[in-house]
Amino acid sequence: MRWQGREESSNVEDRRGMRVPGGGRGLGIGGAILLLAFVLITGKDPRALLQLISQVQDAVPESSAPPAGAPTDELGQFASVVLKDTESTWGAIFSSGGGGGYQAPTMVLFSQAVRSACGTASSAVGPFYCPSDRKVYLDLSFFDELSHRFGAPGDFAQAYVIAHEVGHHVQNLLGISDQIHSAQQRAHGESEVNALSVRLELQADCLAGVWANHTKIELEAGDVEEGLRAAAAIGDDRLQKLGQDEVQPESWTHGSSEQRVHWLRQGLRSGDPNSCKT
């Protein structure tokens, strides 16, 4: 991708270096022992304690840090350029559709942990979109993991990750996310809830492909293959094989490698959001 020198988005908060007290830390061995003791003594659901811990962490104010602003490093600037291009793409698509103007999301760059309107999250959750504050959250170290752990290097692979999260923002604006969440509340069993989640995620993959079809960033040979390789690398079946050597489709929340590649390619070929009816 020839992205250098292109316009950057003004909708970026660079919070890297800001410390979130209690954020991003696991329970650890001592915490796990305490959790086990809580369950044995009270007989209560351990999620009650975990929820309490989360509430306490969220009550702690974020520590002071240098003012958030536009990124000055190359990787941060790359993310900002990609975000700007998604703004242009979706702005044009929304305008042509006659459904009103596109309201761009903010992208928050963070390190280790971050506080959002959806709660405190660590880098371990990966990039995510919070519909409550309409922000995309990204720890850029995820790109290293994408390259070295999942074998999907390349700037277009990284751009696909950003475009996927922006796809969730598009779903939010169109009311699709609310429809899925309502359906999940009426669902019978966890497997049905997960199946609806898979549909939402695959549609976000397709919407990322729609962006790639319209992008004004000049693509180079092999770029599209990088994106498809990234989609395959983070399929639920492949991740389960890496983690536990057992594939359990009923527990999938994002879709298989084959499904993710299919829907990303669908958006790439069509360039039409209406083709993303997962």
What per-residue confidence (pLDDT) applies to 275?
A: 97
* Cα distance between residue 73 and residue 128, in whole Å: 22
Alpha-carbon radius of gyration of the chain: 19
Q: Could you say which residues of the chain have pLDDT below 50?
A: 24-42, 44, 46-47, 49-50, 52-53, 55-61, 63, 66-67
Residue tagged 């498809």 (tokens): 228
What per-residue confidence (pLDDT) applies to 31?
A: 42
Q: Which residues contact 30 (CB under 8 A, 6 or more apart)?
A: none
Q: Supply the pTM of this predicted model.
A: 0.83
What per-residue confidence (pLDDT) applies to 105?
A: 98
Residue tagged 């359990």 (tokens): 248
What per-residue confidence (pLDDT) applies to 30?
A: 39
Q: How is the chain split into domains, by residue range?
A: 12-20+67-275, 22-60
**Residue 84 corresponds to which tokens in the numbers above?**
């700007």
What per-residue confidence (pLDDT) applies to 65?
A: 52
pLDDT, one tens digit per residue, over 224-269 is 999 999 999 989 888 888 777 678 888 899 999 999 999 999 999 9
* Cα distance between residue 17 and residue 118, in whole Å: 20
* Cα distance between residue 4 and residue 270, in whole Å: 27
Is 79:109 a contact under the CB 8 Å cutoff? yes
Q: Are strands 113-116 and 106-109 parallel, antiparallel or unpaired?
A: unpaired
